[in-house]
Structure 1
Amino acid sequence: MEPGPLDPTVLHGQATHRSSAAWTGVDSKELHCRRREAIFHRTSVLDGRITPLLQQAGFYGVARLGFISLDWHLITAFVERWRPETHTFHLPQEECTITLQDIAMLIGLPVDGDVVTGSTCLDWRRVCYSLLGLTPGDTDIDGQRLHLTWLSQSFPTLAPDADEESIQRYTRAYILQLIGGFLFSGKSSDKVHLMFLPLLEDFEVARGF
């Protein structure tokens, strides 16, 4: 028996493929995704008072998803069949990929609207104070990215007597944690780019992006 797939056209990078480890006795682990949902759902409270604002901004669907267990072996199998030239998975049946329509149906995010653009050369501490009501310290901001731990510690719960402005600030912090910890998780899994914060000033406008 020779190592390799029965159908050599499915796995594009077979010469450097991890399946060779099965023949050399090396244990190659399955892939894992960068994610922070478990921490986010343990530290953030989906208060009913922010629900109308989440719906207005278009984030209510993804906020209700909760923590989803992922099949790491299935994800690894799909990555093995990914073709970077066409951005599709090559399967024995045919090619397939994830579309924006899939995203809209699965997590409820709007995929039609204005493109997210804008300046990233802002005084981010001043932006945070204006839209979140708090100014992060020097260790809480890394360049243009805000530490998610600071957000979770600064906005643990919504006070029972919170006014409308406090509810809006809490909602912005909640959405930022969704973006940085779930939708656009970076290498550290603990930072969110502050370019998204000015877009949340008006929740109705935010839904249009």
Structure 2
Amino acid sequence: MSLLTMGDEHRGTIENISTFDPKRFRCRVHEYVPHDPLIEPYIRGCGFGNLLNIVSYSVDYKFILALLERWRPETHTFHLPIGECTVTLEDVYMLLGLRIDGKAVNGKVNHVNDICNELLGAPLLDDEPEGDTSSQARGQGINLKYLRQYYNSIVLSEDSTEYEKIIKAQCYIMILFGNFLFPESTGNSVNIMYLPLLRNINKVNTYSWGSAVLAHLYSALCKNAKKNTCTFFSCAYLLQAWGWSRMPSLAPENERPFAFPFATK
């Protein structure tokens, strides 16, 4: 217990739990965007095939909030009456089917619109005014609304070129990042950092996307462990699936046994 130094700032104290209004809490959960069947081979080749089986991104907000009240940033574990536990890389692999080894997911958070023109075929990135250091600090983002509109405007057919299919596949993956795997705190953009990693569609699956998702989840858990924080922005679906699989007594009734990856219809 000497390791737990957060004190009254932690949202899990009796006083903070009793005074916090659960109606204020929300998760950055977006509407599911169906994929085009013609780009499915590219999505699977990039290592995100299991995510295509998910047909809803809805989560139980109160369940996520209850887990946050048990999360301790000092130890990166949930403190439960039966002991400590945490989400591991194995969980990410078993639940989402994402690669947990390979190259690190990192890069520049600021780019010019040329990168969008080159990889997505449209200037979707808003150029920041010169000297705007605040935007550079938080990183640039592609507006998800415009990205979805652009994705829907690309109509493919059997006669479409491979270049057109790759562009739409890259758009979908970026939507997948912004909607599901790496949602931003604002909820309306996806960080430009991920786009250059999609430059070579055949090398996307060489990155450890599962490790990046877990790191993003840990960051959100630690930030939301503080009292009065009201917005959880990370892969809440992963956290919920982990909780249900590890504590099945808290999961909804399900006549079928769990299958792994957990993301099955």
CA distance in 2 between partners of 1:93 and 1:87 (Å): 16
Distance 1:120 1:27, change over 3 A: closer
Q: State which of 122, 140, 146 in structure 2 corresponds to 1:144.
A: 140
Partner of 1:3: none
Residue identity in the other structure for 2:166: Q
Instruction: Give % identity.
Output: 36
Partner of 1:126: 114
Partner of 2:13: 14
- 8 Å Cα contact 2:170/2:198 also seen in 1: yes
Partner of 1:29: 23
Partner of 1:85: 74
Measure how far apart 1:117 and its partner are: 2.8
SS in 1 for 2:90: helix
Residue identity in the other structure for 1:149: K
SS in 1 for 2:172: helix
CA distance in 2 between partners of 1:136 and 1:13 (Å): 41
- 8 Å Cα contact 2:25/2:61 also seen in 1: yes
Q: TM-score scaled to structure 2, two decimals?
A: 0.64
CA distance in 2 between partners of 1:188 and 1:73 (Å): 21
SS in 2 for 1:196: helix
* Residues 70-126 of structure 1: per-residue CA shift (max 9 Å, x gap): 222222211111111101111110101111211111111111111123334532x11
Partner of 2:204: 206
CA distance in 1 between partners of 2:89 and 2:125 (Å): 37
CA distance in 2 between partners of 1:117 and 1:45 (Å): 27
Greater C-alpha Rg: 1
- 8 Å Cα contact 1:30/1:76 also seen in 2: no
The gaps in structure 2 that reach 5 residues or longer are: 1-9, 129-134, 208-265
Q: State which of 100, 124, 133 in structure 1 corresponds to 2:89.
A: 100
Residue identity in the other structure for 2:121: G
Taking only aligned residues, the RMSD between alpha carbons, in angstroms, comes to 2.5
Distance 1:188 1:49, change over 3 A: same
- 8 Å Cα contact 1:180/1:191 also seen in 2: yes
Measure how far apart 1:195 and its partner are: 1.2
Measure how far apart 1:148 and its partner are: 0.7
CA distance in 2 between partners of 1:12 and 1:70 (Å): 20
- 8 Å Cα contact 1:30/1:73 also seen in 2: no
- Corresponding position: 1:166 with 2:169: no
Q: State which of 158, 174, 184 in structure 1 corresponds to 2:182.
A: 184
CA distance in 1 between partners of 2:110 and 2:95 (Å): 34
CA distance in 1 between partners of 2:63 and 2:108 (Å): 39
- Corresponding position: 1:71 with 2:67: no
The gaps in structure 1 that reach 5 residues or longer are: 1-10
